[in-house]
Amino acid sequence: MHTHDLVLLISRAQFAFTIGFHIVLAALAIGLSLFLSVINILWVRTRRQTYLDIMHFWQKVFALNMGVGVVTGVVMEFQFGTHWGPFTARTGAVIGPLMFYEVLVAFFIEAGFVGLMLFGLQKIGARLHLCATLMVTLGAIISAFWIVAANSWMQTPAGFAFGSGGRFVPTDWWAVIFTPSFPYRFLHMLLASLIGTALLIAACAAWHLLRDRQHPQARVMYAVSLAGLILFTPLQILVGDLHGENTLAHQPQKLAAMEGSWQRPAPGEGEPLRLFALPDQQQQRNRAEVAIPHVGSLYLRHNLTGTITPLSAFPPADLPNVPLVFFAFRLMVGLGLLMALAALAALVLWLRGRLFESRTLARLMVALGPAGFVAMLAGWVVTESGRQPFTVYGLMRTSESASVLSLPLSLAVMAVIAVVYLLTFGIGFMLLLRILAQRPETGEQGAAPEMWQMLSQPEEK
């Protein structure tokens, strides 16, 4: 491997490493802010102490998540200038404003109201506090809107013309924002955030219910989170199917890699569902393939004989890393099926009035606690690796997008960032587990009770 190729691989690995950490924190912020809004509404309407205890409990998690997320997010943004200069130079007129809107509108809304949400209840009253919580939720969703819009443009570019030096110049901002893939990708990401958060909350509640089945706060957390799982999981399956059809229309190489389809089947055979295979990219075939005939056509073309454009129809230089995309897709789908089964089991037990009595379901929910975010990361690998070897799909290659850096500098920067991220995320994860292990009790304190007590004490004259 040449030095340039090695530096490019390090730059890609560094970006994947940083955004992989950050995307989990951003998704948790979306899901947790919505959960806090729901609990806050229930508390304002009923004034039950249980809801207030749950709200204070999860505010601590939200504060921790936001603190770690700010650190990881800032480092990630700087990489566009340090490691991806040519990409920034050519796409800055399109990507720059979208990222600016995310900071100006979304982050300022979220950051501006998060202090009131965490510390302002006793100062501004219940209804204004609810408004602040809803604004934090709105800010988190708008933030996802702009980030996904920027990434969707890279996936399915539209609304631009080429200027001098091959620069992308926006000509239609509506087309830039609402690209053909944006609606599906935005809904898919939003639902993934909600499902991942619902699983985390359900796992925490189930952990405490296994020790005390009658614990009131844990029962409410369990019921609300499982209600979200029951609601959002079928929606995610529907959106995922529509997203797959969109990918088939606009990114056929990616879909073929997801399916491991190297050759077009004979007429009438249809696409099989490949349960397992070992894709061989050099030989352009699968080894040890285990497949079910026609089933692939059923979910890809909604019939039994339809086919897709195979990988052999594209130049080998334009293909992504097929094994990586193939296995990441199966990890995402496999975990998604487990979530769907868990949601179905919860619904059946709920209808039978045995939701809180089933220790089997509780153990399953504990085991599935991280599954939503793992599936989301697997889906992100499919999305981003499946776009390769392009940063702007079909128009700008990744090899043309990276800055020219020395190998020692690339390794040094990667090492420093890895240490900072692992240390920050590791400390945050340990604190998260410590918070979740302590079940919410009556009179639960908020994100910073000692600080609140200090601030609320009258000044001595």
pLDDT above 70 covers a percentage of the chain that reads 97
pLDDT in tens, 283-324: 999 999 898 988 888 888 888 888 889 999 999 999 999 999
Residue of higher predicted confidence among 99 and 451: 99
Cβ atoms within 10 A of the Cβ of 451, count?
Answer: 12
Q: Name residues whose C-beta falls within 8 Å of residue 17's C-beta, 6 or more positions apart in sequence.
A: 414, 417, 418, 421
Inside any domain, residue 290? no
381 and 328 Cβ atoms separated by less than 8 Å: yes
237 and 267 Cβ atoms separated by less than 8 Å: no
187 and 419 Cβ atoms separated by less than 8 Å: no
Tokens coding 137: 């939720």
Q: How much is the pLDDT for 184? A: 95
Flag whether pLDDT at 456 surpasses 70: no
Inside any domain, residue 308? no
Inside any domain, residue 280? no
Would you report the helix, strand and coil content of the chain in percent, each value rounded to 5?
75, 5, 20
Flag whether pLDDT at 458 surpasses 80: no
For 214-358, where are the alpha helices, taking DSSP H only?
A: 216-250, 252-259, 295-300, 322-351
Inside any domain, residue 268? no
Residue 287 forms beta bridges with which residues?
Answer: 278
Sign of CA dihedral 183, 95, 323, 320: positive
In 3D space, the residue among 76, 79, 64, 147 whose CA is nearest the CA of residue 107 turns out to be 147
Inside any domain, residue 299? no
Q: How much is the pLDDT for 132? A: 92
pLDDT in tens, 270-287: 889 999 999 999 899 999
Q: How much is the pLDDT for 303? A: 86
Inside any domain, residue 350? yes
pLDDT in tens, 358-386: 999 999 999 999 999 999 999 999 999 99
Mean pLDDT (the chain, rounded): 89
Instruction: Look at the block and give the residue holding tokens 């230089």.
Output: 317
Q: How much is the pLDDT for 451? A: 40
How many CA atoms lie within 13 Å of 441's alpha carbon, on the beta-carbon side? 4
Q: Name residues whose C-beta falls within 8 Å of residue 347's C-beta, 6 or more positions apart in sequence.
A: 230
pLDDT level of residue 457 (50, 70, 90 thresholds): very low
Tokens coding 127: 């209804």
Instruction: Specify the number of domains making up the chain.
Output: 1
Flag whether pLDDT at 208 surpasses 70: yes
Inside any domain, residue 291? no
Flag whether pLDDT at 185 surpasses 90: yes
Structural domain span for residue 388: 3-249+322-442
- Give the lowest-confidence range in 69-83, 194-208, 233-247, 417-431: 69-83
Q: How much is the pLDDT for 460? A: 40
355 and 218 Cβ atoms separated by less than 8 Å: no
Inside any domain, residue 272? no
Q: How much is the pLDDT for 453? A: 45
pLDDT level of residue 461 (50, 70, 90 thresholds): very low
Largest interatomic CA distance in the chain = 90
Q: How much is the pLDDT for 448? A: 65
Q: How much is the pLDDT for 319? A: 93
Q: How much is the pLDDT for 420? A: 85
Flag whether pLDDT at 2 surpasses 90: no
Q: How far apart, in Å, do the first and last CA atoms of the chain sit?
A: 73
Flag whether pLDDT at 439 surpasses 90: no
Query: What backbone phi and psi angles, to 5 degrees, belong to 315?
Result: -60, 135
pLDDT in tens, 4-45: 788 888 888 888 888 888 899 889 999 999 999 999 999 999
